[in-house]
Chain A
Amino acid sequence: MAGKKLGFYVFFIPVFLWLFLLIVVPHIELFLMSLRTEDWVGNTSWSLANYKNFFSEPIYWLTFVRTAIYSILVTCITAIIAFPVAFFITKVANPRFSGFLAVLLLMPFWVSELVRVYGWMILLRESGVINHFLLQLGLISKSVEMLYNDISMVMVLVYTSMLFMVVPLLSVLESLDDSLIEAAYDLGASSWTILTKIILPHSKPGLTSGAIVVFMLTLGNYLTPNLIGGKSSLWFTEQIYTQFIASFNWNQGAAFGFLLLALSSLIIWIGLKLTRQNLTKVVQ
C-alpha cells in the first residue's frame, strides 16, 4: 500500500513540477501583467482595459477573426490533402515503399522554419525559380509575382502543417482493418459511402487530434504570414509582437496572448462539440 503510494508520488511529483513550474508559473506572471495598465510615466494600476481594447478596437478583433478563419481554412485544406496521402501510404503503397514515403514527409523538418520559408521565397518570387522555368518553357511571357499573397501564404502554411496531420492519420488508418472496407463494399456500399460511413468515422480521433495541432500551430505561426503573406496579411501573433516589441506595451501584449489562448480553446471546444467528440477520446 505504502509502496503504491510512493510509486504514485515518484511519478506525480515530476509531472506536477513540470506542469507547474514551466507552464503555470510563467503564465501567472503574464496573466497578472495583462490585468495592469500603464500610464505615460510608467506607473501601473489594475484594470481590464487591455481586454476591453481588444473588443473595442476593430483592428484587433478583426485580425483575430482573420487569423482564426485562415487557420481553420489551412486546417481543412491540410486535412483534405493529408487524408489521401495517409491513405495511400497505409493502404495502397507497397509496405516497403511506405516507410520511405513517410521519411519523405519528414524531410522539410530537417531544416529550420526560417530556412524553409526562405526556400519557398526563392521558388515563388517574381525572379524566382518557378518563374524562370515557366518563362523558359514559354508557358508565360512575363514573370508573375507569386509571393506576398494569401494563396501562397496558405499554401506554405499547409505545407508546414502536413506532417502534423499525416502522422496521426497514419496511425488511425493503420489500425483500420481492410476487411471492414471490403465488408461494406460487399454489403452494397459505394466508394463514397465507404469513405463517409466507415473510413472517416474510424479516422475521426486521428483527424481531430491532427486538426487541433495544425490549427494551433497555424494560429501561432509568425514567420510564414509575415514573410510570405500579402500586404494585408496581418496575423494575430504579429499584433502580440507589435505590442511587446514596437509599442513597449507588455500589458496589452500579455492580454492578447491570453485572448489568443482563450479564443482558440473556445474554437476547438466548439469544433469538438459540432463533431460530437470529447477531448479525452481524442487524446487516447
Chain B
Amino acid sequence: MVVDLKVEKVSKVFGTFKAVDEVSFEVVSGNFFSILGPSGCGKTTLLRMIAGFLEPTEGQIYIRQKLVNGIPPNQRPVNLVFQNLALFPMMNVFENIAFGLKRRKVEKKVIEAKVKDILARVGLSGFEKKKINELSGGQKQRVAIARALVLEPSVLLLDEPLGALDLKLREQMKVELKKLQAEVGTTFVYITHDQSEALVMSDFVAVMNKGRFEQIDTPQNLYRSPKTAFVAKFVGDNNALEGEMLKKEGEMVLVSAYGHEFWVRAGSYRLGKKISVFIRPESFLLEPEENLSKVNRLKVKIKDILFDGANSKLLCLLPAGPEIMVALPQNKKFAHLKPGDDLNIGWFYEDSLAFS
C-alpha cells in the first residue's frame, strides 16, 4: 500500500493561538479521506499547509514519501479545490482547465485531448467555450474539480467544495463526487463540517476539534464506536444524559441519572465519576417487549412529533431530565402516537456509550 500523504505532528500557531495542534495522519493511495469538524476548528489551516500556502510551525508533511516542507504551492504535486471554487472569470471553461497544463508546457494537442477527456468525466462534454458566469453552481463545481484533476495530482485537496450549493444539489454532488473519485482513483483529502458528506463519501474520516484530531476511523466505526464524547456528539444525532458512575463490570458501567439506573457500554477505559451517556435516536425501542433482556427502560412523555419523512422523530420529555429524541419509524404501528401521550422506551445496553 502506497502512502500518498503523510502528516507528522503538524502544528500551526497564529500569534499565541494554536489553530492546528500536533496533527498526524496518513492517507493511502486511492482513498477518500475526509476531515470533519466544526467551523473554525482548523481544517482550512491544515489543508493550506498541505497545499503549501502556509508553513507548519512544527511537524513534517510528506507527499509520496517526499518531504515537502518549504516547497511552494506551484511546485507541490497536490492541487486544491477552493472553498469558493476560485474559477478564473476572465477565461472560458477550456482555458480554466488548461491553465495548469499550459504552465507545465504540455503540448497543445495533448492539452486539448486531456481537457476533453476530463470534461467528459465530469459530465460537461462540449462546455469548452462557455464562460464561467454562464455556468450553474453545480457546473462550476465540476469545472473546479476538473481543473485540479486534469493535472493528475498525487493528492487532491478539497475545501468544502459543496458548501455553496443548495441542499438538493449537494445530495446529488455527494454521490457524483464519490463515483468520480472511484473512477479516477486519485487520492482525495476532503474537508467538510457536514457529517453526512463525510460519512457518505469517505473511506476514512478524521474528526477534528479545536485543532486536534479526535478520531480517525471508517465512517461505520465512527458512528458505532466513537472514541470521545465530542465524536459521539458530532457524528450522527445523539442524545446525551448526564449521570454518575455507580460501578464498572468489565466493559459495562452502571450509571445513575435523573433517578434511574442504566447499564451502558464504556466508551473509553478511563472513566471518572461524572459521566455522559450517549444514545442515538434510532437505538431506541418503542414499547419494548417485556421479555427482552439487557434493555434499559424509561417512561417518557411525548412533547412533539417532528415529521421529516423517513427521518421523523419524537421529541420526548424525561421527568426531571432532558429532552430525548427518539426515531419514529413510519409504519402503521406507531401512527396513533400524539403529543401528550405517555410512552415506554428502551434500548439495549450495548447501544449506549459512556464517556467522562
Contact = CB atoms under 8 A, between A and B. Distances in A.
A binds B: yes
Interface of A: 177, 179-180, 182-190, 193, 197-198, 201-202
A177 to B, nearest CB: 7
Nearest to B80: A186
A197 B90 CA distance: 9
Contact of B99 (A182, A184, A201, A202): A184
| In the complex, the 9 A-B pairs of residues with the closest C-beta atoms, listed nearest first | A187-B100, A183-B86, A188-B103, A179-B86, A201-B90, A188-B74, A186-B73, A186-B80, A179-B82
B90 A187 contact: no
A92 B104 CA distance: 28
B293 to A, nearest CB: 58
25 contacts: A177-B84, A179-B82, A180-B86, A180-B88, A182-B73, A182-B80, A182-B82, A183-B80, A183-B88, A187-B147, A187-B148, A188-B100, A188-B103, A188-B151, A189-B74, A189-B103, A190-B74, A190-B103, A193-B103, A197-B99, A198-B88, A198-B90, A201-B90, A202-B89, A202-B90
Contacts of A201: 90
Nearest to B150: A187
A32 B34 CA distance: 76
Contacts of A187: 74, 79, 99-100, 103, 147-148, 151
A201 B89 CA distance: 10
A201 B96 CA distance: 14
Nearest to A181: B86
Given A185-B73, A189-B103, 16 more contacts: A179-B83, A180-B88, A182-B80, A182-B86, A183-B87, A183-B88, A184-B88, A186-B53, A186-B73, A187-B100, A187-B151, A188-B104, A189-B74, A197-B88, A197-B99, A198-B88
B199 interface: no
A193 B105 CA distance: 13
A188 B79 CA distance: 9
Interface of B: 51-53, 72-75, 79-80, 82-84, 86-90, 99-100, 103-104, 147-148, 151
B147 A182 contact: no
B296 to A, nearest CB: 51
B110 to A, nearest CB: 16
B86 A177 contact: yes
A1 to B, nearest CB: 33
A149 to B, nearest CB: 41
Contacts of A182: 53, 73, 80, 82, 86
B99 A189 contact: yes
B152 to A, nearest CB: 12
Contact of A179 (B84, B104, B148): B84
A200 to B, nearest CB: 9
Given A179-B84, A193-B103, A186 B79 contact: yes
A91 B90 CA distance: 20
Contacts of A189: 74, 99, 103
A182 B52 CA distance: 10
Contacts of B72: 185
A193 B101 CA distance: 13
Contacts of B51: 186
A183 B83 CA distance: 11
A197 B72 CA distance: 19
Contacts of B104: 188
Contacts of B83: 179
A177 B99 CA distance: 18
B258 to A, nearest CB: 50
B147 to A, nearest CB: 7
A196 to B, nearest CB: 11
A193 B95 CA distance: 14
Contacts of B84: 177, 179
A182 B148 CA distance: 13
B348 to A, nearest CB: 49
B250 to A, nearest CB: 52
Contacts of A184: 88, 99
A276 to B, nearest CB: 12
Contacts of A179: 82-84, 86
A93 to B, nearest CB: 19
Contacts of B74: 185-190
A162 B147 CA distance: 38
A179 B86 CA distance: 6
